Amino acid sequence: VRRFVIIGQNANAAGDFSLDDLPSTSGRLDVLLRCLRAALLVSHGLRRDARAYLVLLGGAGAPKTLRFDGDTARYLRPDERSLAVTVKKVLAVTVGSGSFSEVRPGISSCEAGLEVVLSDVPARGAFLLEAGAPDVRESELEPHDCTFFLGDHLGLSAETRQKLEAFGVAKIGLGPLDLHAEDAIAVVSNELDRRLLGADPR
């Protein structure tokens, strides 16, 4: 499984955002929804070997973390609005804070933040994506079993960085420019696809 963990510093955990104006009412949940699409969806289908975690650290009820499993998720559509509707419904369900509870097929929720992710993923093969870090193309990673942590439009807080460093993440980069988080996921996904399937599998 390839896993992507996107940490939304202000992303709304209460679900009380407006579907008609996500960017200014949801703490930029729209950024995380585009990351979700990039991590889990290909043209006409789901990546069965991918999992995405959205860590929502903003608004009343924060922290909350949602987990989307490509192997069991259904009815995920690529448009942001439909993903926002799904997230709103999932956030309306009360869950515990100790571990993930599945609230829809392939979608689980927990009333906790980064800690629940760190107890759900292996420390081996965990990477922090950061511009300027050692290049992914030169990296030794197991494409079947790896985890990538990303910040949102604000990057990562010092507190989150400390937790990730204590977890033992290795830093990995995607070239010289600071990319949008969803584009960073697309580049990593393509790198893993090439390692697993070859550059030209025709």
Ligand X SMILES: C[S@@+](CC[C@H](N)C(=O)[O-])C[C@H]1O[C@@H](n2cnc3c(N)ncnc32)[C@H](O)[C@@H]1O
* Site residues (vs ligand X, CB under 6 A): 129-131, 150-151, 153, 155-156, 173-175, 177-181, 184
Residue 184 gets the label, from left (phi > 0), alpha (psi -120 to 50) or beta, of alpha
The pair phi, psi for residue 182, each rounded to 5°, is -70, -30
Torsion sign across C-alpha atoms 79, 25, 151, 63: negative
- Least distance to ligand X, CB of residue 8, Å: 11
Tell me whether residue 62 or residue 181 sits nearer to ligand X (CB atom).
181
- Least distance to ligand X, CB of residue 41, Å: 18
Tell me whether residue 66 or residue 129 sits nearer to ligand X (CB atom).
129
- Least distance to ligand X, CB of residue 114, Å: 14
Q: Which residue has the tokens 């979700």?
A: 36
Total H helices, total E strands in the chain: 6, 10
Give the separation between CA 184 and CA 182, rounded to whole angstroms. Answer: 5
Q: Which of 142, 119, 121 is nearest to 52 (CA)?
A: 121
- Least distance to ligand X, CB of residue 70, Å: 21
- Least distance to ligand X, CB of residue 31, Å: 8
Token pair for 159: 């507190």
Tell me whether residue 124 or residue 137 sits nearer to ligand X (CB atom).
137
Tell me whether residue 58 or residue 106 sits nearer to ligand X (CB atom).
58
Tell me whether residue 1 or residue 133 sits nearer to ligand X (CB atom).
133
In the complex, residue closest to ligand X by CB: 155
- Least distance to ligand X, CB of residue 9, Å: 10
- Amino acid symbol at 86: T
Cβ count near 121 (within 10 Å):
20
Give the separation between CA 185 and CA 191, rounded to whole angstroms. Answer: 10
